[in-house]
Amino acid sequence: MPLDFEALSSWDFEEIQQTLTERDTILYALGLGFGEDPADKKELAFVYEDGLKAVPSMAVTMGYPGFWLRNPKTGVNWQKVLHGEQWLDIYKPLPVKGNIVGRTKIDFMSDKGEGKGAVIYQSREIFDADSGEKLARAAMSAFCRGDGGFGGENRPGPAPAVLPEREPDHICDIETLPRQALIYRLSGDYNPLHADPDVARSVGFDRPILHGLATYGLAARAILKTLLDYDAARLVGLDVRFSAPVYPGETVRFEIWEEAGEARFRASIPQRGVVVLNNGAARLA
């Protein structure tokens, strides 16, 4: 059954007001494994209140409207929705506490045809509620595998970043904890797929998988560590295409290429020979 195009075309998102605390900022970083070495002061800066810094990718959790596609009025078969791509532009270094406003909208929908699914492209502008300054813009595509054939146009999305054909300039391996998803979900994504083994098995996974946006946050961590000496203000954009899930406890390998003004990257699980993030681009100041 296809999605309800008319309902989605006029979908009214409530403005999300969020009170961001230092605890939220620390918890997000812990969900990405920062502080793995408690003697590493550069990583400690993201998980300790004395001189605390925000991980730039935290913007994707700010002013978040929740998993709204689960609303029956959308007509979407939410159990078959996959996070396809994520884009992020950061205009100012993120605050570690304060009042945040998020304003979400649907940009457009693409009908791949009956039996082929549909893609919903949405974006969210994130503001400092006190100053009115725009902090970031987060956008994503949701691949709705069970909702093609609603009669819409098959519109292409943004072109993915192209990876160089040469060998990568850097390799960065990041180990995840078996309980990584249980920590990351405390930053606001409580989808039981990432916690409940029965739910995971019901949709074809052996066990709960790591949140896609947690893997995305690992990419930010890899770029900060490998190229930026943990200078968070220099990471001003991060785009990826999701290609496969990560299981908590696995080691994620990032292959990174330095390009003019940015980095290109992909991530894989060497033990399984699977690419989990592809066509990655990090914009650097």
* 1: pLDDT strictly greater than 70: no
Largest CA distance in the chain: 57
Tell me the pLDDT band of 174, cut-offs 50, 70 and 90. very high
pLDDT for residue 82: 86
Query: What pLDDT shows up at residue 253?
Result: 98
Confidence of residue 219 (pLDDT cuts 50, 70, 90): very high
**Of 194, 217, 256, 269, which residue is the catalytic one?**
194
Q: What's the whole-model pTM score?
A: 0.94
Check if 111 is active-site.
no
Q: How many whole angstroms separate alpha carbon 240 and alpha carbon 267?
A: 10
pLDDT beyond 90 at 80:
no
pLDDT, tens digit (0-9, with 9 covering 90-100), for 18-50: 999 999 999 999 999 999 998 999 999 999 999
pLDDT at 66: 87
Catalytic member of 212, 217, 237, 280:
212
Torsions phi, psi of 29, nearest 5?
-65, -40
**How many CA within 13 A on the CB side of residue 257?**
17
**Least confident among 1-5, 113-117, 167-171, 259-263:** 1-5
Question: Hey, how many other C-beta atoms are within 10 angstroms of the C-beta on 258?
Answer: 15
What single letter denotes the amino acid at residue 137? R
The single residue of 26, 90, 209, 269 carrying the catalytic annotation is: 209
Residues in the chain: 285
The pLDDT of 219-227, averaged and rounded, is 98
What local confidence, expressed as pLDDT, does residue 19 receive?
A: 97
Q: Return the closest-CA partner of residue 246 out of 285, 283, 272.
A: 272
Which of 229-233's residues contact partners 24+ apart within 8 Å by CB, and which partners? 229/42, 230/42, 230/43, 230/45, 230/46, 232/46, 232/53, 232/54, 232/55, 232/56, 232/93, 232/94, 233/93, 233/285
The pLDDT, as a whole number, for residue 153 is 85
- β-partners of residue 118 are 111, 144
pLDDT tier, 191 (very low <50, low <70, confident <90, very high otherwise): confident
- Rounded-to-integer distance, Cα 98 and Cα 238, Å: 23
Q: Which residue out of 189, 211, 237, 269 is catalytically annotated?
A: 189
Q: Tell me what the pLDDT averaged over the chain comes to.
A: 94
Q: 113-153: per-residue pLDDT in tens?
A: 888 899 999 999 999 999 999 999 999 999 998 888 888 88
* Predicted local confidence at residue 2, as pLDDT: 72
- Give the pLDDT of residue 267: 98
| Percentage of the chain modeled with pLDDT above 90 | 79
Catalytic residue at 209? yes
- Distance, CA of 179 to CA of 190 (rounded, Å): 14
Query: 84 - beta bridge partners?
Result: none
Please, which pLDDT band fits residue 4 given cuts at 50, 70 and 90? confident
